[in-house]
Structure 1
Amino acid sequence: MSPFGKSLGFPPRVGPDGRMRWSEGETNVRESIAIILKTEAGERIQLADFGAGLGRYLFEPNNPATHVRIAASIEDALRQWEPRIALDGVDVTPDPTDATAALATIAYRLVATGAAERTSVSIPLGRS
């Protein structure tokens, strides 16, 4: 049994046997982080505060001030909703492949093992 738990995979997918695919281990943690970052406040019934609410930055300029606010939103959400990680830092920069997006790189350690991990997500903004 994995110390990280097990849940339905994200995004939901069906395996060759026709059954829903499960996620466990480090993959489950990464998928959980993605769910937190892609969820807006109010989207979850009975968990109105769940998520990072990154959609609020959609029409913000792609500049350092916006990047600082995005990083703070990510840090707050992950500290509140993902207890299996110890956050080492969040770095937000302009996405090199899209002038209307920011790239957030999240460095963390898995609490159960101490292993260092890193994941990135592109956040759409409205203006460059």
Structure 2
Amino acid sequence: MSNSNNILGHSLSFPLRIESDGRFAWSEGESNIRESLTVILKTEPGERIALPDFGAGLGRFLFEPNNAATHARIERAITGALTRWERRIQVESVEVVADHIDLSAALATITYRLVATSSRERISVAVPLKSP
């Protein structure tokens, strides 16, 4: 494992996978951080008994309209959750727009910097909303 991967993290992969030798797969480096972001964004508060506040709670927007007001609330939820739960990154921006392919979803694009290396990364996630 390289030194930069050590400072960026090393843990079980998500979703859990089994390697060909029968052992659990591990993730490290930038992919470990992306997996962590996915876990935070897809977790609803209350799902984890030991951390009842953990997660972004994006499921609460399921029946909300796909408009600017909802997009702003999603941006705040994402920024707050990632700032609180993932200390290895610094959120630079969160942009939420209507998904032009799936009209019942918004597309959130998150730009962040890795604290350890100052490298800029970007991920996108679809947030299900009210069907048109």
- The interval holding the TM-score normalised by the smaller chain is over 0.9
1: distance between equivalents of 2:92 and 2:131? 29
For residue 108 of structure 1, the aligned residue among 99, 105, 112 is 112
Unmatched tracts of structure 1, length 5 or more:
none
Unmatched tracts of structure 2, length 5 or more:
none
TM-score by length of 1: 0.97
Q: Percent identity?
A: 59
2: distance between equivalents of 1:21 and 1:87? 28
The 5 Å alignment of 1:84-95 reads 84-95=88-99
1: distance between equivalents of 2:33 and 2:92? 15
The 5 Å alignment of 1:62-77 reads 62-77=66-81
- The DSSP-based 3-state class of the residue aligned with 1:3 is helix
TM-score by length of 2: 0.94
| Higher mean C-alpha deviation, range 73-82 or range 2-11 | 2-11
Could you list the per-position Cα deviations for residues 74-102 of structure 1 after superposition, in whole angstroms to 9, with x for gaps in the alignment?
A: 00000000000011000000112200000
**Once superposed, which parts of structure 1, at least 4 consecutive aligned residues long, lie more than 6 Å away?**
none
How much does 1:17 deviate? 1.2
- The DSSP-based 3-state class of the residue aligned with 1:109 is strand
Question: What root-mean-square deviation, in Å, do the aligned CA atoms of Structure 1 and Structure 2 show?
Answer: 0.8
